[in-house]
């Protein structure tokens, strides 16, 4: 089996994540037969390089077991699999991994977003998993949307190399705040807000935040904002800002579908399909807005954005932030 240190460390952290009851109930009928295949794979020292060859040696019944255990809709066609997709088919859920660094986990012929991205620091990942484990089925599914990464789809549309964001404590905290305090026209239902409040409380209880001087933190935010704006330019900065707005829309849409369809494996597959279609539509609109400068989704009230940044401290001198305005003259 794969033994590189990065992979083993990732698996050791993710192994603490408790599965949802729906997932566990679905896999139970196939679990015993899957474990027999898993042991056989271990004995054969299966790795990325030989996983497809190993799959070709399995019986039709064993391939059906892998199909069912993994929740694949179609029968397994070994010849159509990538090395990553083949290897992950033979792993437990918490052992599947993004080996090719494209931001998604290939599992058989399918792809899915990882619950814990590789870019998440270890201490944050541990706290994130600890928080998830305290939540019920519905709240856990809602909280898992916090690590969904839109930049992967954006990179595909733009034809650029995927550069994952570092999902550190600040990133997760910001995502939570965007959901709890959406900026119009974004909207968050009270039900989703309740789930996020529960997660936030559990996450912050599990994660020890270093104490910093408030004024130094404020100045740091201002400097970072100005530097990022100048480095990226107004167009790219606004594009990325709109990606964050889209994330909020995706969260609300996924919650709506979850309430309509439930959490069965079939329902989750349909939800993923519809969410992916919705994401693609929004990202295409965003890209068109950058190209044409007319689409409504690209319209950002820069003054409102600046006021939000200035709101970090009502009693502090905000003159440095006024430099931002010059970037949009």
Query: What does the pLDDT look like over 171-182, one tens digit per residue?
Result: 999 989 988 998
Domain residue extents for the chain: 5-112, 122-326
Between 221 and 245, the higher pLDDT residue = 245
Between 261 and 317, the higher pLDDT residue = 261
Residue 204 pLDDT: 92
Ramachandran category for residue 288: left, alpha or beta (phi over 0 → left; psi -120 to 50 → alpha): alpha
Tell me what the mean pLDDT of segment 131-137 comes to: 92
Q: Are 63 and 32 in contact, with CB atoms under 8 Å apart?
A: no
- pLDDT of 276 above 90: no
* Chain-centroid distance, C-alpha 324: 30
- pLDDT of 325 above 60: no
| φ, ψ for residue 111, nearest 5 deg | -130, 145
Beta strands in 108-220 (DSSP E): 110-112
Between 278 and 313, the higher pLDDT residue = 278
Instruction: Work out the percent of the chain whose per-residue pLDDT is above 90.
Output: 30
Cα–Cα distance, 40 to 44 (Å, whole number): 6
- pLDDT of 46 above 80: yes
Tell me what the mean pLDDT of segment 121-133 comes to: 93
Q: To which residue do tokens 């090395």 refer?
A: 83
- pLDDT of 10 above 60: yes
The model's pTM is 0.61
Q: Which residues pair with 106 in a beta bridge?
A: 111
pLDDT band at 126 (very low <50, low <70, confident <90, very high): very high
Among 149, 175, 158, 188, smallest CA distance to 279 is for 149
pLDDT tens digits, 314-324: 444 444 444 44
SS3 for 112? strand
Residue 133 pLDDT: 94
Cα–Cα distance, 41 to 59 (Å, whole number): 13
Cα–Cα distance, 287 to 243 (Å, whole number): 10
Residue 233 pLDDT: 55
- The two beta strands, 110-112 and 105-107, are antiparallel
Average per-residue pLDDT for the chain = 78
């Amino acid at each position: 089996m794969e033994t590189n240190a990065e992979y083993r460390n990732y698996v050791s952290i993710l192994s603490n994540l408790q599965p949802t009851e729906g997932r566990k109930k679905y896999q139970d009928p196939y679990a015993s037969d899957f474990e027999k295949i898993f042991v056989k794979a271990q004995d054969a020292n299966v790795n990325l390089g030989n996983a497809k060859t190993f799959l070709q040696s399995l019986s039709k019944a064993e391939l059906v077991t892998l199909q069912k255990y993994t929740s694949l809709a179609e029968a397994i066609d070994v010849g159509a699999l990538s090395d990553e997709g083949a290897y992950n088919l033979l792993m437990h859920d918490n052992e599947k991994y993004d080996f090719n660094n494209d931001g998604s986990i290939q599992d058989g012929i399918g792809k899915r977003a990882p619950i814990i991205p590789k870019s998440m620091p270890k201490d944050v990942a541990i706290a994130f998993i600890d928080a998830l484990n305290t939540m019920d089925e519905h709240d856990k599914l809602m909280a898992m949307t916090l690590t969904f990464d839109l930049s992967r789809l954006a990179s595909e549309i733009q034809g650029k190399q995927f550069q994952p964001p570092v999902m550190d404590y600040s990133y997760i905290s910001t995502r939570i705040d965007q959901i709890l305090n959406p900026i119009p026209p974004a909207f968050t239902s009270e039900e989703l807000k309740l789930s996020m409040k529960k997660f936030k409380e559990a996450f912050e209880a599990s994660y020890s935040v270093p104490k910093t001087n408030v004024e130094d933190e404020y100045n740091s935010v201002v400097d970072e904002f100005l530097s990022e704006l100048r480095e990226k330019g107004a167009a790219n900065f606004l594009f990325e800002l709109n990606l964050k707005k889209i994330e909020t829309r995706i969260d609300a849409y996924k919650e709506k579908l979850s309430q309509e369809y439930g959490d069965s494996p079939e329902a989750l597959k349909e939800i993923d399909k519809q969410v992916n279609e919705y994401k693609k539509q929004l990202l295409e609109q965003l890209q068109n807005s950058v190209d044409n400068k007319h689409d409504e989704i690209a319209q950002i009230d820069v003054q409102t954005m600046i006021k939000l940044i200035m709101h970090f401290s009502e009693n502090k001198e905000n003159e440095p932030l006024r430099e931002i305005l010059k970037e949009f003259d």
